[in-house]
């Protein structure tokens, strides 16, 4: 028997769609972080009629299986960040009607087992609510949100040290701070919603002093909400938002518009620049399903995918180390006991149970800018005693996964087993054959991982393929005889 072998090292990409439920409670997950052993998700639970808002944090493995879940304190949990020392800092906010001690911004650091390391509360003269937290280059934190007083809301920017102690804060008149990032010059860029129908972009120095500010207002009748802001590879900025459609604004380093795009009937929630210079955006399709959209560097659509769960809103997307995407969405709500969906895709947005959508892209006309005022704000910070309570009432429903594959039956030609496999996969024929058998294994992105050609010198009933060197995940096995070629999905689990 002649055997020709060829290997190419590659990583498979795990995919799944899972839905979580907290029974009668509303349950939202607004952000996620990949860690060494899986994913951390952060959000809020709420019981209608009781007003019981509680931040919820949970950890899963790389296959979406829950390792632990906890609720910490009261309020809502809109944002978190992974720290340089491999921990997580949670930003928590209060709701109207809470006590004075619960009206500030609470910062809580936990380890990857959900244990609290420290917790601090920043109180000001008004109610403070966070929207976004990021770690700074000096291991401290920058938080944006808004302060609430009678009749209006103001953009709030807070700077702390590495253990949550107050450094400085700034208040910008009229609006809501939605997203913030430290820029390469050590300053900060803020994406904000204005009190009118516009979107604010504010650039500050490292002390929070304004360098420039822009306001983008549509020339049409629509209004837009800011959802995320990032500095791009060319030193400019990409602002993502929208209400009834995705809005993208690309600016230069001074905030001047380079281009702007609108994706109709596809509300946008969050986005990132990807390693190829393009963008990945989480949103909702025109059919009310969670959707991912991949754009090139000029904002033109490459592909779009929507996923299981009509009536679902896409919230957050993160690029994973295997080149895929982790996507969180919320199904239902408004007395319908909302529950989050966890969607892990490959690099092309595939999950094995997705639909495809094709929204169209058009340029829009935007105006800039309108004046804003800025003021300094003092904050009072104190240690806060919080308890992490196990949150064991979560039910998990697997909608689809790449990890549960039944043994494939290739009609009357042959069968393969075991599947999933750890060391070898056998190709078994019902009768002895002396045909030349060509086999190859590819990743979900089409990368050739392994190929083999077998020419039997005597009739055989079985061939074996080694898979022990492959990483855990999903692959495609193609088997070609002299008369037919069949491709089927296989899973490698060590």
Q: Rounded distance, CA 240 to CA 202, Å? A: 15
Q: Which DSSP string do the residues of 399-440 spell out, in sequence order?
A: EEESS--PPPEETTTEEEE-SSBSSEEEEEEEEEE--EEEEE
DSSP element (H, E) containing 464: strand 460-466
DSSP state of 298: T
Cβ–Cβ < 8 Å for 272, 325: no
Query: Do the domains 24-276+360-394 and 405-492 sit in the same CATH topology, yes or no?
Result: no
Distance in angstroms (rounded) separating the CA atoms of residues 239 and 345: 24
24-276+360-394 classified as CATH 2.130.10.10: yes
The distance of Cα 224 from the centroid of its chain, to the nearest Å, equals: 21
Q: Tell how strand 301-306 and strand 355-356 pair up.
A: antiparallel
Closest C-alpha to 376, from 201, 199, 164, 210: 210
Q: Comparing C-alpha atoms, which of 258, 253, 257, 266 is closest to residue 227?
A: 266
Single out the residue of 197, 196, 179 nearest to residue 188, CA to CA.
179
Which DSSP state fits 256? -
Distances (CA, A) of 436 to 1, 71, 347, 457: 9, 59, 34, 10
Closest CA to 271 of 251, 241, 232: 241
- Residue whose C-alpha is closest to residue 398's, from 358, 341, 360: 341
Q: Give per-residue pLDDT as tens, 381-424.
A: 444 454 555 656 565 655 555 543 333 333 445 677 787 888 88
**What residue ranges do the domains of the chain occupy?**
24-276+360-394, 405-492
Tell me the per-residue pLDDT of 419-434, one tens digit each, with 9 for 90 and over. Answer: 788 888 887 766 666 6
Find out whether 342 and 351 touch, Cβ atoms under 8 Å: no
pTM for the predicted model, two decimal places: 0.73
Residue in the structure block whose two tokens are 């604004």? 249
Which of helix, strand or coil describes residue 206? coil
Report DSSP letters for 316-377, one per residue: EEEE-TTS-EEEEEEE--SSS--EEEEEEE-TTS--SS-EE----EEE--EE------EEE-
Q: Which CATH fold topology does 405-492 show?
A: Immunoglobulin-like (2.60.40)
pLDDT averaged over consecutive 10-residue blocks of the chain (494 residues)?
A: 38 76 75 86 76 83 87 82 93 62 79 91 79 95 85 86 92 85 96 74 93 75 74 94 76 90 70 91 77 87 76 78 85 60 86 57 45 39 52 58 40 68 79 74 73 72 82 78 68 80
């Amino acid at each position: 028997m002649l055997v020709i072998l060829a290997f190419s090292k590659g990583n498979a990409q795990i995919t799944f769609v899972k839905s979580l439920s907290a029974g009668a409670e509303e349950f939202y997950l607004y952000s996620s972080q990949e860690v060494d052993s899986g994913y951390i998700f952060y959000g809020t639970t709420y019981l209608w009629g009781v007003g019981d808002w509680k931040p919820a944090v949970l950890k899963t493995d790389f296959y979406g299986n829950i390792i632990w879940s906890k609720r910490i304190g009261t309020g809502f949990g809109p944002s978190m960040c992974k720290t340089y020392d491999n921990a997580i800092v949670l930003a928590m906010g209060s709701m109207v009607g809470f006590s004075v001690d619960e009206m500030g911004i609470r910062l809580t650091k936990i380890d990857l087992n959900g244990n609290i390391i420290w917790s601090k509360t920043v109180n000001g003269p008004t109610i403070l609510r966070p929207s976004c937290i990021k770690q700074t280059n000096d291991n401290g934190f920058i938080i944006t949100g808004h302060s609430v007083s009678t009749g209006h809301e103001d953009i709030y920017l807070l700077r702390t040290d590495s253990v949550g102690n107050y450094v400085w804060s700034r208040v910008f008149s009229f609006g809501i701070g939605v997203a913030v990032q430290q820029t390469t010059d050590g300053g900060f860029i803020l994406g904000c919603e204005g009190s009118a129908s516009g979107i604010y972009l504010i650039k500050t120095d490292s002390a929070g002093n304004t360098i420039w500010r822009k306001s983008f207002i549509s020339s049409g009748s629509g209004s837009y909400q800011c959802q995320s802001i990032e500095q791009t590879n060319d030193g400019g900025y990409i602002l993502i938002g929208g209400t009834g459609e995705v809005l993208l604004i690309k600016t230069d380093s001074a905030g001047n518009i380079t281009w702007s795009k609108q994706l109709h009937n596809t509300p946008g929630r969050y986005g990132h620049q990807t390693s190829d210079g393009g963008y990945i955006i989480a949103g909702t399709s025109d059919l009310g399903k969670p959707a991912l959209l991949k754009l090139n560097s000029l904002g033109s659509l490459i592909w779009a995918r929507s996923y299981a769960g009509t009536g679902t809103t896409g919230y957050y997307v993160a690029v994973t180390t295997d080149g895929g995407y982790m996507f969180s969405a919320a199904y239902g709500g408004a007395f319908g006991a909302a529950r989050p969906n966890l969607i892990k895709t490959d690099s092309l947005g595939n999950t094995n149970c997705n639909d495809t959508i094709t929204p169209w892209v058009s340029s829009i006309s935007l105006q800039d800018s309108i004046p804003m005022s800025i003021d300094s704000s003092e904050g009072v910070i104190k240690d806060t005693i919080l308890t992490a309570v196990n949150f064991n009432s979560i039910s998990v429903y697997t909608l689809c996964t790449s990890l549960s594959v039944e043994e494939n039956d290739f009609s009357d030609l042959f069968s393969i087993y075991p599947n999933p496999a750890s060391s070898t996969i056998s190709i078994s024929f019902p009768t002895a054959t002396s045909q030349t058998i060509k086999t190859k294994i590819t990743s979900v992105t089409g990368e050739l991982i392994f190929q083999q050609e077998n020419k039997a010198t005597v009739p055989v009933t079985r061939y074996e393929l080694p898979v022990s060197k492959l990483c855990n995940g999903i692959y495609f096995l193609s088997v070609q005889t002299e008369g037919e070629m069949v491709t089927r999905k296989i899973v490698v689990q060590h």
